[in-house]
Structure formats: structure tokens, C-alpha cells
Amino acid sequence: MTAPPETPETPPAAANGAPVLLTVDGLTKTYPGVLANDHVSFSIAEGEIHALLGENGAGKSTLVKMIYGLVRPDSGAMTLRGHPFAPSEPRAARAAGVAMVFQHFSLFDALNVAENVALGMENPPGRGALAGRIREMSENYGLPLDPHALVGNLSAGERQRVEIIRCLLQEPKLLIMDEPTSVLTPQETAILFATLRTLSAEGVAILYISHKLEEIRTLCDGATILRQGKVAATCDPRGKSARELAEMMVGQALHVPARTGREAGPVALALRDLNLSPATPFGTALKALCLEVRAGEVLGIGGVAGNGQDELLSALSGESTTAPDAVVVNGAPVGHLGPNARRRLAVLATPEERLGHAAAPDMSLTENALMTAAIRCNLTDRGFLNRPAAEEFARRIIAAFDVRTPGAGNPARSLSGGNLQKFVVGREILQAPDVLVVNQPTWGVDAAAAAAIRQALLDLAANGAAVVVISQDLDELMTISDRFAALNEGRLSAPRPTRELSIDEIGLMLGGAHDMEVAHAEA
């Protein structure tokens, strides 16, 4: 076992001198070939909002899983309110006062709010009493919910409220939040922050994980920064810039994506009155979408989750077919063509769900590289796999996009979320598409990796590709897109030059305040 690292100077537990709630002392966890956490130590005071920062693969997920009882540490100890704390399962953690809101919601669309909340409780009260408690608590914390509403009909922000209320009904002393604003508009984020500050004032400690560093600076009292499984630094994030925090995470200067001067070429992708019914009862129908994207252009499409993003990518990738002339690529109608036929025409796409949709979890990275690149990279020979070529292509992706993995033979599920994201985006970019559509390209990716992915998208456009970026990250869209359009309830606004828009205007457009019908008519 490695020797404990030197412990950085620890700041006061909280500005108000509140007593320490949770102490983590020397937690270590090793997986085959990976030292996930190496003698990690830090503390959180009652009422403190404490950030846990680090690049992808730094050990954040493993650490919070140990705190929540999902993983047992190899060594080290924890105390909660001065008593030994070693939860053997999440139920034990919840009983001790620790709750967690995961990045991926664990809700059933076909059940209502109260039924979903009851599933997360050890001894739920009767239906009427539970509905009353949900309504009362949601109103008290500024997160109004109808306990009888079907979850499948809720927005992403409302679904997150269900997860939070389910936790709050357990009266936690420590609330862990993993990327809580990744699916929220700026207005919904402001509501969430007000709720978290109320909880903090009541003495609830919050361990906050996010790659949105400006949020960390705005919200958090303290921060622990992990790098390669170790505590690299502790600080008060309010006294640091977002760039300084990012550089503390990666241990080097941060690259800032830069556009190269380019002129838009001919129309490479066009949508002509595109209509598409949803594939599931809780999906969103696309309604008369019209759009043109030129070669060398990056078009940003923003929208709160559940407003048709998945359906749009499906229509553009060929997973869902439409009328032939509803989708036109380089002047040729392709709406009736499937994914492989569109790949032959250099139309590639990366879906939002990386594990299960963009990549097969139990297949190796080499096999996952083969799945979409076989046609354009000649990875098969007369119907047989050209394994050396496939392995070389997988290694190219790993090297070009700094994918942290022991090798191309490792299964996709062995990668951290951010590293798998780098792999699946890199896999499409290295095929040199004429049209690339990406949904949430930097979702769950650290600052350095996000900058690298965004620069790769800009470079692809500079080389003449038409790039469509569907994202809920407004900073991302403002940084890399030439024009912006908002997707709301399956309708698309007329694209506008990004430089003419403010974050507030975009946030209102995403929330549906923008007159979509007028914008569509103007298109």
C-alpha cells in the first residue's frame, strides 16, 4: 500500500464555526489495476455546502459511494457526528442521516410522484398522508410538486424535485448531490440554489459535485479537490476564479477553446418540415422542424431535457426514418435511410446515453470502435473483422482524446463516465464526417476534457464539416456555436447568431417564453 500523501492545509470547517458533521480519514479503495482513492481525508461541517472537485477518473464517484454505503473502503475510517460511521449498504447510510441525489434519476415514468417517493422510503405512510407531506414540504422549500402527477409527464427540473423531496422526507443531516444542475435551465438552477441555501441555514450539510465551476464559486463554502485519487488541495472556491479551480483540478494550465477564422460554405444539412412521432408514450413529438446548417458552421440547439432532443438526434442519425425529403444532406434526400446508409454519406451522430446507446457496456473498446467505424474506416474485410485495424483505430481514439484506460481490450463499462464520453465522441470525430450531430458532448466531463472535446468540434467545423451540438450546457453553446436555436416541446425556434443573445434570453427561450410559432414562421 502506498504511503499517505502530505495533507494539504485544511481550512476552517465553516465560516460560522459550526461543529464538524462528517470526517473522512484516509479512505483508500483499489480496483484491479486502478487505485481509485488514495488516503483521502477531509471534513464537512453542519450547514456547510462543500464542493468535491476533480477531473474524470479522479475518484469522486468512488468516494461518495463509500460515504453512501455502495462501496466498502479497503482502509481508512469515517465519523458522523463524532461516532464511527461505516455503512454496509445505502439503507444504513440513510438511517444514519445521509441521503444522495444521483445524476441519473431513478424514477418510474408510469408511476405518480407519491408512488415514486414511497419506493424510496423504508416505511412510507399511507397514500393520503404521504401526498400531504410531499405537498407541504415541496411548498416549504420552493419546489412545488403535485403528488398525483405522473412522473412521465414531468419536466427534467420537476423530476429532480421528486428526487430531492424524497431525500428531504428522510430528514437528512448530509445531502450528497451529483451534477444536480446538468438538466436545468438557469431559472430552475436559481430555484435549486435557493433551496440548498435554505437547507444549509437549517444545519443540513451538502456535499456538492459539479463540473460547472462558476456554480461552485457561487454556491459553495469550501472545496476539496481530488487528482488521481488523492486530495490535491482544499480551498474556499469563492476566492478563486473558475480557471484557477480548473487548473487546480488538472495540475496544469487549462486550454481555452479557440475558433479559427472560417466562412460558412454551402448547406450541408437541411430539415424540411420534419415531423416525427415519439417512440415511447413519454417521448416528445417533433413538429414541423425547419433548419439549415452550412459546411464549416457549428449550430447549437438548446433545450431542457425531455423537449425532443433524443427524437431529433434519432431523426438525424437515421435510427428513426421520416419522409425522404424531410432530411437533406448535401442536396440529397436521406430521411428514409437508416444509420449505416447515412454513415456511408458521412453523416455521424453521438447520442446522449453513452452506456447502452453509444457504447455496449460489456464489449471492449475495440469492439465498440468497430460498431460505428466499420464502414468509414474499413475495419472489416469481406464480412470478417479486421482486428488489427480495429485495435489500431481504438488506440488512436484513446491517444487523441486522452481516454484513461489500461487498454483497448477493456470493456466500456470499466471506464468512468467522462472517459467513456471522450471515447464515444472521439470515435465519431476521427471518422472525419461531413455532418456530425452530438447530443450532450461534454455531459459529466471535467473542465480540461470538455475544453479538448469542444476544441475538436471547432477544428472539425474549421475543416469544413457541419456540426450540430445539442446541449443543455448554455456556457458550452455560447462558447462554440455560431448560431443558436431553442427546442421546446418538439418545436424549434429560428436560429439566431449566438453573439446577439444573452444567457438570460436563452434561458427564457429554453423555458418556452420565446414565441416558437413566430420564430418558426420567420424561418
Same domain assignment for residues 279 and 345: yes
Averaged pLDDT, 235-250: 90
What is the rounded CA–CA span in Å between residue 97 and residue 85? 11
Same domain assignment for residues 352 and 484: yes
Averaged pLDDT, 155-169: 84
Same domain assignment for residues 330 and 220: no
Grouping H, G, I as helix, E, B as strand and the rest as coil, residue 176 is strand
* 330 Cβ contact list (under 8 Å, min separation 6): 266, 268, 345, 434
Look at residue 38 in the predicted model and tell me its pLDDT.
95
Per residue in 286-335, pLDDT (tens digit) is 999 999 999 999 999 998 777 899 899 999 999 999 999 999 999 999 99
Averaged pLDDT, 338-355: 93
Look at residue 511 in the predicted model and tell me its pLDDT.
65
Per residue in 467-498, pLDDT (tens digit) is 999 988 888 888 899 999 999 889 999 899 99
Per residue in 498-510, pLDDT (tens digit) is 988 887 787 777 7
**Highest mean pLDDT: which of 5-14, 277-286, 506-515?**
277-286
Look at residue 261 in the predicted model and tell me its pLDDT.
63
Residue 19 lies in a domain: no
pTM of the model: 0.72
Residue 20 lies in a domain: no
Residue 234 lies in a domain: yes
Task: Report residue 203 as a C-alpha cell.
Answer: 444545519
CA distances (Å), origin 229, targets 42, 73, 220, 413, 480: 13, 13, 22, 19, 31
- Domain count for the chain: 3
Same domain assignment for residues 38 and 186: yes
Task: Report residue 417 as a C-alpha cell.
Answer: 463516465
CA distances (Å), origin 429, targets 347, 373, 457: 11, 10, 8
Same domain assignment for residues 308 and 242: no
Helices 503-510 and 186-201 sit at what angle, rounded to 10 degrees?
100
Same domain assignment for residues 132 and 153: yes
**Highest mean pLDDT: which of 29-33, 134-138, 269-273, 406-410?**
269-273
Percent of the chain clearing pLDDT 90 (strictly above): 59
Query: Residue 166: is its pLDDT beyond 80?
Result: yes
What is the domain range of residue 184? 1-11+25-97+172-254
